[in-house]
Amino acid sequence: MDCLFCRIVEGSVPALKIMENDKFIAFLDINPRTEGHCLIIPKKHVSSFSDMSNEQTGDMFVFVKEVASRLAESLEAKGYNIFINNGKAAGQIISHFHVHIMPRYESEGIVIEAAFPVSEDAKQKLKETQQKLEEQPANKYTKEIISW
């Protein structure tokens, strides 16, 4: 498999690692949108968020939380965005699941919501969308979370 992120994991492609454990690596994005913009990847190849097991997902987001906290404290960021581009239609370029963390600074003056303008078409279909989603049976894991 010719996966850039798998090559980073094996060490054949260099990366500026900022945190690592036995399951995940966090490294600085080579095309950063802000200072400290990093990616977190599982060491085991998984193509998309949908392919992650529930255990992997939980472990990964504990790691994401640790990395985000460390970034914010170390870089004196006033906030951060955590996002996933899942699938080509959503902008995923490398088919190895990854999470972005972008530290945010007051000096930026950027509001992330501007990148996602309100869709008036989607707004008109809210009730219809809800009905479609209600028709789909929830899986066992989702039911457990909803019952918290």
Pairwise CA distance, residues 54 & 25, whole Å = 19
Question: Are 41 and 5 spatial neighbours (Cβ–Cβ below 8 Å)?
Answer: yes
Cite the active site residues: 98
Closest CA to 78 of 121, 116, 111: 111
The number of angstroms, rounded, from the C-alpha of 74 to the middle of its chain's C-alpha atoms is 20
Segments making up each domain of the chain, as ranges: 4-116
Amino acid identity, position 116: F
Share of the chain above pLDDT 70, in %: 83
Average pLDDT, the chain: 86
pLDDT per residue over 113-134, tens digit each?
Answer: 656 666 778 778 777 877 777 7
Q: What are phi and psi of 143, to 5 degrees?
A: -60, -40
pLDDT per residue over 69-99, tens digit each?
Answer: 999 999 999 999 999 999 999 989 999 999 9
Kindly give the residue spans of alpha helices, DSSP state H, lying in 46-116: 54-75
**Residue 110 pLDDT exceeds 50:** yes
Q: Which fold has domain 4-116?
A: HIT family, subunit A (3.30.428)
pTM of this structure: 0.81
